[in-house]
C-alpha cells in the first residue's frame, strides 16, 4: 500500500532519498490519524535538522503533533504550498503534501530506517 | 457576516436603528477633556448600537438558549469537571462589599476582601497539604507557569543553573509541555506503562542532573490514581529536581490524598473545576498555586499578610526580594475567588471528602454500565477515580462511525459530548467525567443514549455521521474554520451606526 521506494520512521514520517537530497513528509497513516490538517509549521531553509529530533509541528483539528526528521542534514527547500493549502497533507501525503528537502549529511543513517514492508507491519499492528 | 437561520439572529449592530433606545452615554462634564492631547480624542462618537431594552434582553436571552450549559443539561466533559455551579456562589460574589471594592482601595478599607483571600489560602493549604498558597494566577495554565517559574528561581538561587529539562508523561494535558516551553525549559516526554500509569523504569532512566522538574497529573488523564507516586517523587528528589503536581483532577482526591504530604513541591488548583466557579466566557478564571517550604520564598508578590493584631495588609513593593514578582494585576480574580470561598464554606471539610467519594462513585457507576453494555471498549477496566475512558474503536471498525460522530449525535439526545480524542494515547477516546452533582437518573439516561447510538451505528450509520439534527447549527466545518478563521464581525460598507448626540 505505501510506496515501496520510500523509507519510513516509526513516528510515521517518510523520506525519499535522491542522491544527496532527501524529501520528507508524513505517511497516509499519519494523515488519517491526525484528521484534517489545518497548519504546518516548518523550519526555514538553511536550518539543520537532526535524525529523530523534531523539525516542525503539524496541527490538525484534533491535536498538535511534532514532526521527526528521518535523517540529519540542512534544509534546502520547504514546501511553500502547505502555507495556503495544509489539506495537501491529507489529500496527497506522499506527493503534494511533502514538507521539506534536506541535503543529507550522513547517508548511512538511511540504513536505520524502516523499509515499506517493515512500515506496513508496524501500522497493521497499530 | 452575521449568524443566520431560524434560531440564530443578527448582531446588535445590525438590529440598531438610529435614535432608538432610552439611555445615552452622558456627556463628559465641561472641561473634563481639556487636558487630553487632541490627537488622543475621538473625532467621531463611538459606533455603538442603538436599541430599546426589550430588544437587547431578548437578543441575549435567545442567544443564551443556543448554548448547552450546566444550567441546561448534563455536561460530562472529561478532565474539565463540569460540576454544578451553585447559585449561592453568585449571591456571595455580588455582595456590594466584594463586588464594588475598588482594586486600588487602601488596605484599611479592604479588610473583608483581604480576610477572605487569606482564609481561602488557609483552606487550600489544608486541602493540598502544602505550606503556602498564591491566589494570583488567572487560570490553571497560568498557575502552571507560576509554579515552573518558581522552580526555575529555586534552582537559580542555589547556583544550580544546568537544569533545562521538564519530564512530562505522554498522557499529560497539553498545557504541561506548553508551560515548560514558556518558562524557557525543554520538555522530555515519558511513555505510559501498560496499566495507564507512568513507567517507573522509563521514568528513572529519563531523570538526570539536567532535570529541573517533573510534572505529574494525579489521578492521571486516564482517571487512574498513580499508585507509584511515592517512588516517583523519591526518584525526582534523588536527582535534585522538584515535583510538580497538575491539580486538574483534584476533584478525585479531596480529603483523601494530600499532594504536599506525598512529597510534591508545588501544585496548581483549578477553581473552575474543583470549586464550582464558572468555566464560561473565557474568563476571568483563577488558578491558585500551593507550594511547600522549598518554594514559599519565591511566591508571587504581593501576598496577603496577617498582622499580629488580626488585621490584614498586602506586602509592600520589595518587601520579599526572593519573590518571582507579579503574575497578574492586583491580587487575582477576586470575584472568582469569592465564589470558590463560598463553595468551600458551604461544604466544609467533611462535605469535600463526600464530594470526592460521590464523584468517584458516579464515574464508576457509569463506567460499569458502559462496560456491561459490551458495545464500547473500556481500555482500562477496573475501578477508576472521577473519570474514565471509553473508546469507539470497535464501533468504528464495524460501522465506520467514529467517536466524533457519536459525540455530535449525543447533542440530539440532549447531552453534551464527553471530551473526545483525549488523551492522545488512546484511539477514538472518549473521556467521561460525570461529577458528583448528577443524579442516578441522569447517569442512566446518558448510558442509555450512548448504547442507543451504538445500536443505531449498526442500523443507520448515516444519521449519526450527519448529526446533530436538532441543534441550532448542524455539523460545522472545523477544518475550514481553522484554515480560514473569520474572527471579527465587520459592518457592511456604509453601515456605520454612530451614537446620537
ipTM, two decimals:
0.71
- Same-domain status, B331 and B409: no
Distance from chain centroid for Cα B10: 30
B41 — alpha (psi -120 to 50), left (phi > 0) or beta?
A: beta
From A38, A62, A64, residue closest to B421, measured CB to CB: A62
B479 — alpha (psi -120 to 50), left (phi > 0) or beta?
A: alpha
CATH topology of domain A7-103: OB fold (Dihydrolipoamide Acetyltransferase, E2P) (2.40.50)
Q: How far is A79 from chain B (nearest CA, A)?
A: 17
- Same-domain status, B170 and B284: yes
Lowest mean pLDDT among A10-24, B37-51, B84-98, B436-450: B37-51
- Same-domain status, B170 and B315: yes
Q: How far is B483 from chain A (nearest CA, A)?
A: 5
Q: How far is B409 from chain A (nearest CA, A)?
A: 18
In this structure, is residue B77 part of a structural domain?
no
From A36, A63, A64, residue closest to B479, measured CB to CB: A36
Q: How many helices (H) and strands (E) does chain B have?
A: 17, 12
Contact B424 A63 (CB under 8 A): yes
Residue at a domain's end among B293, B312, B345: B345
- Same-domain status, B288 and B373: no
Neighbours of B205 (CB within 10 A): 10
In this structure, is residue B6 part of a structural domain?
no
In this structure, is residue B207 part of a structural domain?
yes
Between the alpha carbon of residue A27 and those of residues A1, A3, A7, the distances in Å are 11, 10, 11
- Same-domain status, B111 and B246: yes
Residues of chain B contacting A35 with CB distance shorter than 8 Å: 479
Q: How many CA atoms lie within 13 A of A92 on its CB side?
A: 11
Preceding peptide of B320 cis, ω within 30°: no
CA distance B286 to B265: 20
In this structure, is residue B82 part of a structural domain?
no
Instruction: Inform me whether the pLDDT recorded for B20 exceeds 90.
Output: no
Strands (E), B240-375: 242-246, 266-268, 289-291, 304-306, 312-314
- B432 pLDDT band, cuts 50/70/90, is very high
In this structure, is residue B49 part of a structural domain?
yes
Residue at a domain's end among B293, B327, B345: B345
- Same-domain status, B307 and B213: yes
In this structure, is residue B137 part of a structural domain?
yes
In this structure, is residue B232 part of a structural domain?
yes
- Same-domain status, B312 and B356: no
CATH number at residue B385: 3.90.1150.10
Task: State the average pLDDT over residues A111-125.
Answer: 92
Instruction: Inform me whether the pLDDT recorded for B497 exceeds 50.
Output: no
Residues of chain A contacting B417 with CB distance shorter than 8 Å: none
Asked if A41 is an interface residue toward chain B (Cβ–Cβ < 8 A), one would say no
- Following DSSP, what letter does each residue of A35-87 receive, concatenated? -SEEEEE-PPTT-EE-TTSEEEEEEESS-EEEEE-SS-EEEEEE-THHHH-TT
Neighbours of B41 (CB within 10 A): 8
pLDDT tens profile B95-149: 999 999 999 999 999 999 999 999 999 999 999 999 999 999 999 999 999 999 9
Give residues with Cβ within 8 angstroms of B175, minimum separation 6. Answer: B140, B141, B144, B246
Annotated domain spans of chain A: 7-103
- Same-domain status, B326 and B370: no
- Closest B-chain CA to A82: B483
pLDDT tens profile B388-400: 999 999 999 999 9
Q: Residues of chain B whose C-beta is under 8 A from some C-beta in A?
A: 174, 421, 424, 478-479, 482-483
Residues of chain A contacting B191 with CB distance shorter than 8 Å: none
CATH number at residue B252: 3.40.640.10
Residues of chain A contacting B421 with CB distance shorter than 8 Å: 62-63
Distance from chain centroid for Cα B400: 33
Structural domain span for residue B214: 88-345
Cβ within 8 Å of B, A 10-39: 35-39
Contact B479 A61 (CB under 8 A): yes
In this structure, is residue B237 part of a structural domain?
yes
- Is the Cβ–Cβ distance between B388 and B380 less than 8 Å? yes
Name the strand (E) or helix (H) holding B57: helix B53-64
In degrees, to the nearest 5, what angle opens at C-alpha A48 toward C-alphas A45 and A50? 140
B145: helix, strand or coil? helix
CA distance B284 to B77: 20
- B33 pLDDT band, cuts 50/70/90, is confident
Residue of A59, A62, A91 to mutate when probing chain B, most B C-beta within 10 A: A62
Domain count, chain B: 3
Amino acid at each position: 500500500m505505501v510506496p515501496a521506494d520510500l523509507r519510513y520512521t516509526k513516528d510515521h514520517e517518510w523520506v525519499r532519498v535522491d542522491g544527496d537530497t532527501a524529501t520528507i513528509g508524513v505517511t497516509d497513516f499519519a494523515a488519517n490519524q491526525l484528521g484534517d490538517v489545518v497548519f504546518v509549521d516548518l523550519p526555514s531553509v538553511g536550518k539543520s535538522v537532526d535524525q529523530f529530533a523534531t523539525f516542525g509541528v503539524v496541527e490538525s483539528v484534533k491535536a498538535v503533533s511534532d514532526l521527526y526528521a528521518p535523517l540529519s542534514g540542512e534544509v534546502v527547500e520547504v514546501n511553500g504550498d502547505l502555507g495556503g493549502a495544509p489539506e495537501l497533507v491529507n489529500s496527497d501525503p506522499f506527493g503534494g503534501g511533502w514538507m521539506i528537502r534536506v541535503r543529507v549529511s550522513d547517508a548511512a543513517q538511511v540504513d536505520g530506517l524502516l523499509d515499506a514492508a517493515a512500515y506496513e507491519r508496524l501500522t497493521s499492528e497499530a | 457576516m452575521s449568524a443566520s437561520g431560524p434560531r440564530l439572529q443578527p448582531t446588535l449592530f445590525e438590529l440598531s436603528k438610529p435614535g432608538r433606545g432610552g439611555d445615552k452615554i452622558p456627556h463628559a462634564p465641561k472641561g473634563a477633556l481639556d487636558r487630553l492631547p487632541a490627537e488622543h480624542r475621538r473625532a467621531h462618537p463611538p459606533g455603538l448600537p442603538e436599541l430599546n431594552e426589550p430588544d437587547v434582553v431578548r437578543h441575549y436571552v435567545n442567544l443564551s438558549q443556543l448554548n448547552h450549559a450546566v444550567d441546561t443539561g448534563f455536561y460530562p466533559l472529561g478532565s474539565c469537571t463540569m460540576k454544578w455551579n451553585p447559585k449561592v456562589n453568585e449571591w456571595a460574589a455580588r455582595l456590594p462589599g466584594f463586588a464594588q471594592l475598588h482594586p486600588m482601595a487602601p488596605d484599611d478599607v479592604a479588610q473583608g476582601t483581604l480576610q477572605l483571600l487569606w482564609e481561602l489560602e488557609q483552606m487550600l493549604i489544608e486541602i493540598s497539604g502544602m505550606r503556602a498558597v498564591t491566589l494570583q494566577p488567572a487560570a490553571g495554565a497560568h498557575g502552571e507557569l507560576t509554579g515552573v517559574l518558581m522552580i526555575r528561581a529555586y534552582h537559580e538561587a542555589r547556583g544550580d543553573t544546568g537544569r533545562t529539562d521538564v519530564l512530562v508523561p505522554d498522557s499529560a494535558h497539553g498545557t504541561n509541555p506548553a508551560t515548560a516551553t514558556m518558562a524557557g525549559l525543554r520538555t522530555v516526554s515519558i511513555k505510559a506503562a501498560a496499566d495507564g500509569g507512568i513507567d517507573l523504569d522509563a521514568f528513572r532512566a529519563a531523570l538526570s542532573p539536567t532535570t529541573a522538574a517533573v510534572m505529574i497529573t494525579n489521578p492521571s488523564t486516564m482517571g487512574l490514581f498513580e499508585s507509584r507516586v511515592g517512588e516517583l517523587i523519591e526518584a525526582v528528589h534523588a536527582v535534585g529536581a522538584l515535583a510538580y503536581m497538575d491539580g486538574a483532577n483534584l476533584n478525585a482526591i479531596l480529603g483523601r490524598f494530600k499532594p504536599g504530604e506525598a512529597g510534591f513541591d508545588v501544585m496548581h488548583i483549578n477553581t473552575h473545576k474543583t470549586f464550582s466557579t464558572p468555566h464560561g466566557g473565557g474568563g476571568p478564571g483563577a488558578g491558585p498555586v500551593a507550594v511547600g517550604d522549598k518554594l514559599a520564598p519565591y511566591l508571587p508578590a504581593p501576598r496577603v499578610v496577617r498582622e499580629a493584631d488580626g488585621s490584614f495588609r498586602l506586602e509592600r513593593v520589595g518587601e520579599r526580594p526572593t519573590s518571582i514578582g507579579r503574575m497578574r494585576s492586583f491580587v487575582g480574580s477576586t470575584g472568582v475567588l469569592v465564589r470558590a470561598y463560598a463553595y468551600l464554606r458551604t461544604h466544609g471539610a467533611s462535605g469535600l471528602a463526600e464530594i470526592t467519594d460521590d464523584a468517584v462513585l458516579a464515574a464508576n457507576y457509569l463506567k460499569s454500565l458502559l462496560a456491561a453494555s459490551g458495545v464500547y471498549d473500556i481500555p482500562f477496566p477496573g475501578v477508576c477515580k472521577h473519570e474514565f475512558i471509553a473508546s469507539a474503536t470497535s464501533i468504528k471498525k464495524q460501522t465506520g462511525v467514529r467517536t466524533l460522530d457519536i459525540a455530535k449525535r449525543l447533542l440530539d439526545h440532549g447531552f453534551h459530548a464527553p471530551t473526545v480524542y483525549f488523551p492522545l494515547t488512546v484511539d477514538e477516546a472518549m473521556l467521561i467525567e460525570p461529577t458528583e452533582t448528577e443524579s442516578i437518573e441522569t447517569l442512566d439516561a446518558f448510558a442509555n443514549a450512548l448504547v442507543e447510538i451504538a445500536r443505531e451505528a449498526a442500523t443507520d450509520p448515516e444519521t449519526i455521521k450527519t448529526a446533530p439534527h436538532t441543534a441550532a447549527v448542524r455539523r460545522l466545518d472545523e477544518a475550514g474554520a481553522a484554515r480560514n478563521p473569520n474572527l471579527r464581525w465587520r459592518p457592511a460598507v456604509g453601515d456605520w451606526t454612530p451614537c446620537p448626540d
